[in-house]
Structure formats: C-alpha cells, structure tokens
Amino acid sequence: MIGIIVFLLGLMVSIGLHEIGHLLPAKRFGVKVTQYMIGFGPTMWSWRRGETEYGVKWIPFGGYIRMIGMLPPRPTDDPTKVRSVATGPWQGLIENAREVALEEVRPGDENRVFYRKPWWQKVIIMSGGPAMNFVLAFVLFAIVIMGFGVPVLKPVVSGMTKCVIPYSESLKPGRTCTEADPPTPAAQAGVKPGDKIVAFDGVPVSTWEEATKKIRANGAGPVTIGIVRDGRPQTLNVTLISQDRPAVDDPKKIEKNVGFLGVAPTQVMEKQSFGYVVGHMVELTGRVAESLVNLPEKMVGVWNAAFSGEERDPNGPVGVVGAGRIGGEIAASAAPTENKFVALLSLLAGFNLAIGVFNLIPLLPLDGGHIAGGLWEGLKRAFARVTRRPEPAHVDIAKVLPLTYALAFTMIILFGLLLYADLVNPVRLTG
C-alpha cells in the first residue's frame, strides 16, 4: 500500500505540473482560465483566486484547465444569400460544442478567448503540458542516473559456469551439471572469481562489452586472455568452444555457434554525466514513440492476457492501476531502501515520459491535436502573406470534432481494457 500511495501521490503531482504547464502561458498571454483541476468527477475541495477556481477532484487519473473560447463561433452568413441550415447529427454536435465553448465568454472577454490568440501562442500554451512532463521525467532520471548511478558490467569475473550445458537444455527447469557435462573453457584454464580481463589475444579490452564481443566473434579455438589477479598481470591459454547464446542487445534472439568462455561479469553502480542523461532520454523517447505506433498490436496481447489467461508482456502497455501495483511490488520487495527509492523514481520518470509523448499525438482531444491546429493556422497565414492574399480566418478545429469523439470513445475502451487487465492479470516484477 505504501508503494501504491507514493506512486499515486507522485502521479497527482505530475498531473498538477502538466496542467500548470498549460496554465502559466495561458495567463501570460491573456487567456481567461476559469478552472484548474486535478482529477475528474465530483470536486473534493476547491478555492477561488481571482477569476480561476483551483481544486482537486475524487478520481485522480487526469486533470484539466478550462480556457474560455476554445472553439471559434460559426462564421457569419452572407446576408445576400439564403441562410444554410445543416441538419446532420455530426453538425448538431459541432454547433452544440461551439455553444458550450462560448457560454463562459462575457462582455469584455472578446480578446481573452483562446481561439483569437496568435497561432504561436496557441502552440506554446498547448505544448506547455507535455513539456512539463518531459522536464519532470528528465529531472527524475537525472536524480537517479547522476545521483545514484546505473548498473554497469565490468570485465571482472564474479562467477563461472562450472560445466557446458547446451543452451536448449539449460532452459529446462532444474537442469544442473552432471558428470557427463564437460567443464567450461574458463574452468579448464583456471580462471578465478576476481580476475580482471584486460586483453584478448593480445588486444587490450577495457569494458565487458568489448570482451564479450571479441569472445563471441572468435568462435571455437585457442586464444590467450590477459588478466590481472591480485594486482599482478597474467596470461591464460584458453580453448574456446562454440555455443548458442542469447544476443546481448536482445535476449529473445539466439546467436548460433558463438565463442563461449563461461564467466559472468561484475555489476557495479556508476554515476553518469549530464550527457548520459540526455542520451538516455532520447533513446527512451524513441522507444516510447515506437511503442505507441505498435499500440494496436500490443493491445491484442493485453486482450489475450485479460480474457485468455496468457502471460502479460512485461514490456507491454500498463495503465495507472498497473503502474501503481508495480510501485506496490517495489515497496514490498526485500531490496534495500535506496534501491526501492531509485526504482520508484524511475517508474514515475518513465510514466511522465510516456504521458508527454502520448499527449503529442496530433489528434484531438489530445494536446497534440491543438498544437497541430495552431501550426496549420501559422502555415496558412504565412502562405497568405507570401502570396499577398487576405489573412485567413482562425483554424476551425470544431470541424474535426466527429473524429475527436471517435478517438475519445476508442481511448475509453482502451483504458477500460487496460484497467481490467491490470486488475485480473497484472504485469508483475516477479513470478
């Protein structure tokens, strides 16, 4: 429960900061903001400061700010022509949405509505929320990476495999060494825990990745391995064998007939630089974006896990409830307190990064839809200036409301499926 509560509190802070990312530039550019709310549903408590009501609602799975005039009014009809009346169901929804968007506009607010602001101000206002999530994710990752460090594999032997077991047999539960299994090349050569690998066949190596790459690329055959044992350099003659091994960058892939020594590296925590944090953020952002592209395929797996009992993909999507349960498992684990703290910070950082990327999808009702609308308006006005045409009207995003309703309905279904799967078959850190 402690882990779940800590994660939910962190999530609410993240939501609050996301909305502040919208609120501050909106007020700076003169848009009238009537509400700033964390959560949905009935109001738990609120207070008013100036023209804005600030508050917290009972369902802590989101938040919003209410800006007046998000949608432009219907363009004035030409009085010389017969007034056109649209009677389609979608048109009725669009006109109703226009009325709702303008019902809070009072006399004197004409220049404080969102739709009348310059396109670049709209883009800044709507980008502020996702930007705040990216900043928060970066800060949390920086605390973890620069303050506590990340696991780094060192070319120092921490242990050895005693015998050679074919990879296909090593996957069988309870498979251990028998008298029929030959010793590994490391055991035959006299490698000991604590030995530091410094050279391979006369070529210096400084990292475990370098050593692994050279061992695998060599294949079977005799080689010399330079080590440092108890502070003294030594050279060992080793006869490598070929084995099928999981790929270093993707354990699900199997590399055939690669060189095999039979040693395990030492893992240490090393603090990294600011540049490492930047690279980490860039890499994770790309992976999150790729996951969103593959979301339909991933949701099929979530459906099968929810209703067919299949195992949940640990790298698949999880909802707020699932992430909260992971936070609970972290807090309930037997790991040291520092490790739990780092894991919870990393979980919250990753969730903020995912929220930021998700909100940039250029579809309404997401922030990215409004950003796309603002950019399109800026492009149209730039084109009009270049071609010396009259300035075009504000982009009418109300016209895409049918797509917005369809997307909102789809999101509700997806979030509902994630919620159900997180309850009946959650992603677990341990089996």
Residues 6 or more apart from 295 whose CB is under 8 A from it? 317, 414
Partners of 235 in the β-ladder: 226
pTM above 0.75, yes or no: yes
Between CA 32 and CA 6 the distance in angstroms is: 34
pLDDT at residue 78 in the model:
42
Residue whose structure tokens are 């219907």: 74
Name the E strands within 108-246: 150-160, 196-200, 203-204, 221-229, 232-246
So what's the pLDDT on residue 430? 58
Show the CA angle centred on residue 325, arms to residues 320 and 329, nearest 5°.
145
Q: Residues of the chain whose pLDDT is less than 70? A: 1, 3, 74-101, 429-431
Residue pair 236/129 in contact (Cβ under 8 Å)? The answer is no
What H or E segment, with its residue span, contains residue 297? Answer: helix 295-308
- Catalytically active residues are 19
Q: How far apart are CA 341 and CA 207, in angstroms?
A: 28
Q: Please give the pLDDT value at position 28.
A: 94
pLDDT of residue 95: 61
CA distance 235 to 216: 19
Close Cβ partners of 310 (under 8 Å, ≥ 6 residues apart): 301, 304
Q: What is the pLDDT of residue 92?
A: 55
Architecture of the structural domain at 151-270: Roll (2.30)
pLDDT of residue 141: 95
Structure tokens at 411: 């999101």
Number of residues that this document lists for the chain: 431
pLDDT score recorded for residue 353: 93
Query: CA-CA-CA-CA torsion for 31, 36, 41, 43, nearest 10 degrees?
Result: -130
Q: Where are the domains of the chain?
A: 151-270
Nearest to 94 by CA among 71, 115, 65, 67: 71
Would you say 417 and 299 are in contact if contact means Cβ atoms under 8 Å apart? yes
DSSP conformational letter for 183? B
- Provide the pLDDT for residue 93: 55
What confidence score (pLDDT) does residue 6 get? 77
The string of pLDDT tens digits covering residues 371-407 is 998 999 999 999 998 998 888 888 877 777 777 778 8
